[in-house]
């Protein structure tokens, strides 16, 4: 009954199934591992943020370049404040406002972007406190450069002079005549009465939409594997039923119908049976 499994058609079906199922299981397991990695990274990021609140600040040079291990760590730098910029459309505690960003010129001439605090309302230089004069030492959480259009960072262009949409060396280098570090810090305590901006977790470390997409893809791949098995059994069952019907003679025979165009010109039918017109009675 199952000898049809050895036919070329079923060989192709079987090979496809034997390849598709392990592939779907592998892809589902890989997506699940990606979700588990994000859970671990989220846990590590929270542990890093907790440890950063109690650990001693380290010099900026020791923490560069910024990565998942150093993001959020306490950094310290010494220099003097220079150009001040505003970062509009930033939310804090559910309120609309803006960041006050001041570039700190450190030894060597490079500038470190420092978020001195947050103020509510529309970005307005008139109500922004001026930075302290002279040589200062700042301490805050180290942050990676922002990417416009990502994680809520505005990609808006054409801002007024003295404003920037993203805190990024690639953006700031076009606004100041000196090099900018590919990093920034947010002060632990808001300067001049401003509210401190909390440090954000490194990108791709939180349980965000991408993490749950990995979990959703995991389910999809295992569903695909189950669907392949289901369809194989369905095709097998139909083939077995076809073979049974063929043995019982329940299948219509090919060419059973009579093609009227194939009949001879002098032939006719009577009651469905062919007859010769020459033998019909003459009236």
pLDDT, tens only, 189-222? 988 889 999 988 666 555 666 778 888 999 999 9
Question: Which of the residue ranges 42-56, 79-93, 184-198, 257-271 would you say has the lowest mean pLDDT?
Answer: 257-271
pLDDT, tens only, 5-33? 778 888 999 999 999 999 999 999 999 99
DSSP 188: S
Instruction: Estimate to the nearest angstrom the gap between the alpha carbon of 270 and the chain centroid.
Output: 75
Cβ atoms within 10 Å, residue 117: 24
User: Which three-class secondary structure state does DSSP give residue 180?
Assistant: strand
pLDDT score recorded for residue 208: 64
pLDDT, tens only, 55-96? 789 999 999 999 888 888 999 999 999 999 999 999 999 999
pLDDT, tens only, 143-185? 999 987 666 677 677 788 999 989 999 889 889 999 999 999 9
Burial class (CB in 10 A: 0-12, 13-18, 19+), 27: middle
Residue spans of alpha helices (H) in the chain: 8-52, 60-63, 169-172, 209-247
The pTM for the full model equals 0.61
Pairing of strands 267-270, 273-276: antiparallel
pLDDT score recorded for residue 1: 60
């Amino acid at each position: 009954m199952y000898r049809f499994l050895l036919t070329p058609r079923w060989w192709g079906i079987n090979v496809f199934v034997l390849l598709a199922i392990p592939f779907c299981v592998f892809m589902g397991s890989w997506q699940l591992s990606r979700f588990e990695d994000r859970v671990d990274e989220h846990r590590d990021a929270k542990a890093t943020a907790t440890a950063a609140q109690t650990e001693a600040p380290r010099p900026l040079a020791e923490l560069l370049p910024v990565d998942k291990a150093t993001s959020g760590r306490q950094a310290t730098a010494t220099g003097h404040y220079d150009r001040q910029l505003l970062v509009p459309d930033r939310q804090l505690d559910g309120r609309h406002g803006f960041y006050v960003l001041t570039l700190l010129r450190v030894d060597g001439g490079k500038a470190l972007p420092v978020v001195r605090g947050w103020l509510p309302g529309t970005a307005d230089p008139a109500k922004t406190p001026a930075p302290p004069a002279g040589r200062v030492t700042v301490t805050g959480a180290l942050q990676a450069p922002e990417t416009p259009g990502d994680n809520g960072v505005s990609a808006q262009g054409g801002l007024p002079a003295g404003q920037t949409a993203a805190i990024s060396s690639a953006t700031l280098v076009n606004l100041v005549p000196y090099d900018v570090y590919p990093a920034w810090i947010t002060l632990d305590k808001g300067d001049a009465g401003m509210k401190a901006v909390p440090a954000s977790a490194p990108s791709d470390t939180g349980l965000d939409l991408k993490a749950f997409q990995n979990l959703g893809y995991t389910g999809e791949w295992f569903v695909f594997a189950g669907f392949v098995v289901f369809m194989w059994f369905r095709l097998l069952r139909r083939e077995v039923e076809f073979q049974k019907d063929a043995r019982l003679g329940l299948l219509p025979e090919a060419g059973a119908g009579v093609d009227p165009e194939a009949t001879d010109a002098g032939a006719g039918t009577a009651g469905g049976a062919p007859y010769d017109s020459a033998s019909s009675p003459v009236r």
